[in-house]
Amino acid sequence: MENLFAARAVFGMSLSFHIMFAALGVVMPFFLLLSQGLYLKRKNPVYLALNKKWTTAFAITYAIGAVSGTVLTFGLGLFWPRFMDFAGPMIGVPLSIEVMFFLLEAIFLGIYLFGRDKLSPWLHWASAIPLFIGGFASMIVVILANSWMNTPVGFEVNAAGEVIDVAVFEAMFSPSWYAETSHMSVAAFEAVAFAFAAVYAFGMLRGRRDEYHKKGLFLGMMIATLAAPLMIFSGDHTARQLAVNEPAKLAAIEPLFETQEGAGLSIGGYPDVEAEEVIYDIEIPTLLSVLSLDDPNATILGLNEFPEDERPDPRAVWWAYDAMTGIGFFLATIIPVFWIFYWRSRGVPTNKFLLAALTLSGFLGFLAIELGWIVTEEGRQPWVAQGIMRIDEGFSLAPGIGVAFIGFALLYVFLASTLIWLLKRIATGAPDEEELEEEQKQEESEGAYAL
């Protein structure tokens, strides 16, 4: 196995595995705050049961994510040392800050896990706030490093090829930082919210139509409903950013081979690279120019404007983008359908087709995140840092990377298997009314929330 292929495969595998846990690390603490806050406000033991179940699930996903995140960080130095030697002064700061937020998250996870019967009710609830902040900030600063790779700024290179005059804050907040961080943040909330809804929709499909499952489904759909409209605005802003700062990526996404004034938007189809055209597509005239630059006559650069060896392959980007967009529309459609059924049923609906669609949405939300990162990374090719360093200039020349790839693959199989086994162990169904009452009495009596 060639080093370049192995290095890319290891890092791609690591990133695709870890990104799911990054999303969970941001959103699950928010669900802990929501469920416990509702319990403290309404004293409904169902919210307490949900909170305890979600706390256990979060502890498991956090532990698995910590392992995969550590592997990902070490992978930068092990498999891309020449890139890190060049880019370290720019992206080293956000990666170092991420460690501090990771520690903040770890400390308050311990407090939240073991402080339930030691702290006062609202103080225990408040301990989840730094937990949420730590997870959210960790994801943001890592995306800052990735946004620099897409739009590198904040440094100069001397005649010897050495990095000089590094402006740390300019590098951290590169031109694409806001588009990337906002889009990923909203995507995380939408995907995880649908995943929560899917768990309880699946339970209801299997006949568990009690208050526990209905409230779990309701809370998931409530957050998904809030996130979905934001995704539309976030996606629109991202497209505008690409038109200005990453025109080759936008051309590959479409795909657009020739520069056009008043460029149309292609839906579906297939990019014929040899003929340099899109076949079997449906084109909406001028829409790409409107969405990208607010002008139906705006000029959009085509792939042919870039040297042949500096163009991303539209076949690698187009399918991922179209699939991601299709999933987005599917999820956006489910939301009003759910609330129509909710209104007609005067409560959480039990329609089997709707529950099946919601169950599927849990998988599709995370698949959309994976596809989005394929678009982001493959759309930058052949650059590891856009216009500055090619991928074949940044990887390790040391032997044995192919063996490392096999080792890492086995590690991720083990982690995924462990995660599935543990989550299945805790997903033992809904507690009955007696168990709920007993949990609430225990919560309120045995020295709970002492301080």
pLDDT at residue number 438: 60
What are 389's strand-pairing partners?
385
pLDDT exceeds cutoff 80 at 426: no
pLDDT exceeds cutoff 80 at 373: yes
- CA dist 139 and 117 (Å) reads 30
DSSP-based three-state secondary structure for 156:
strand
What SS3 string covers 10-44? HHHHHHHHHHHHHHHHHHHHHHHHHHHHHHHHHCC
Percent of the chain at pLDDT > 70 equals 94
- CA dist 256 and 266 (Å) reads 9
Non-local CB neighbours of 323 within 8 Å, separated by 6+ positions: 367, 371
pLDDT tens track for 27-49: 999 999 999 999 999 989 999 99
What is the distance, to the nearest Å, from the Cα of residue 279 to the centroid of all Cα atoms in its chain? 31
| Of the candidates 371, 372, 369, 360, the residue with the CA atom closest to the CA atom of residue 333 | 360
Give the mean pLDDT of the chain. Answer: 88
pLDDT tens track for 323-355: 999 999 999 999 999 999 999 988 999 999 999
What are 277's strand-pairing partners?
272
Burial label, 332 (beta-carbon count in 10 A; 0-12, 13-18, 19+): middle
For the chain, the farthest-separated pair of C-alpha atoms sits apart, in whole angstroms, at 75
pLDDT at residue number 353: 95
pLDDT exceeds cutoff 70 at 434: no
pLDDT exceeds cutoff 80 at 449: no
Cα angle vertex 391, ends 390, 395, to 5°? 125
Lowest mean pLDDT among 9-13, 90-94, 175-179, 380-384: 9-13
- CA dist 230 and 403 (Å) reads 43
pLDDT exceeds cutoff 50 at 171: yes
- CA dist 446 and 288 (Å) reads 63
Question: Could you tell me if 278 and 317 are in contact, meaning their C-beta atoms sit under 8 angstroms apart?
Answer: no
Q: Give the pLDDT band (50/70/90) at residue 77.
A: confident
Non-local CB neighbours of 354 within 8 Å, separated by 6+ positions: 334, 337, 338, 341
Q: How far apart are the first and last CA of the chain?
A: 59
Q: Which two tokens stand for residue 202?
A: 């699946």
Contacts of 102-111 spanning 24+ positions with Cβ under 8 A:
102/66, 102/69, 102/134, 102/138, 103/134, 104/130, 104/133, 104/134, 104/137, 105/25, 105/62, 105/130, 105/131, 105/134, 105/135, 105/138, 106/66, 106/134, 108/134, 109/58, 109/59, 109/62
Q: Which two tokens stand for residue 440?
A: 């609430």
pLDDT exceeds cutoff 70 at 165: yes
Non-local CB neighbours of 107 within 8 Å, separated by 6+ positions: 130
Question: Could you tell me if 261 and 297 are in contact, meaning their C-beta atoms sit under 8 angstroms apart?
Answer: yes
- CA dist 91 and 146 (Å) reads 8
Non-local CB neighbours of 340 within 8 Å, separated by 6+ positions: none
pLDDT tens track for 107-149: 999 999 999 888 999 999 999 999 999 999 999 999 999 999 9
- CA dist 363 and 255 (Å) reads 27
pLDDT at residue number 447: 44
Mean pLDDT of the 150-178 span:
90
| Of the candidates 337, 377, 329, 332, the residue with the CA atom closest to the CA atom of residue 354 | 337
Non-local CB neighbours of 56 within 8 Å, separated by 6+ positions: 426
pLDDT tens track for 183-198: 999 999 999 999 999 9
pLDDT exceeds cutoff 60 at 268: yes
Lowest mean pLDDT among 108-117, 221-230, 421-430: 421-430
Identify the sign of the CA torsion 302, 306, 312, 315: positive
- CA dist 437 and 39 (Å) reads 13
pLDDT at residue number 5: 83
Q: What is the DSSP letter of 119?
A: S
Mean pLDDT of the 302-316 span:
90
Q: Give the pLDDT band (50/70/90) at residue 435.
A: low
pLDDT exceeds cutoff 50 at 446: no
pTM exceeds cut of 0.95: no
Non-local CB neighbours of 179 within 8 Å, separated by 6+ positions: 147, 234, 237, 238, 240, 241
pLDDT at residue number 442: 61
- CA dist 343 and 225 (Å) reads 15
pLDDT at residue number 174: 93
- CA dist 414 and 441 (Å) reads 39
pLDDT at residue number 293: 86
pLDDT at residue number 74: 79
pLDDT at residue number 415: 85
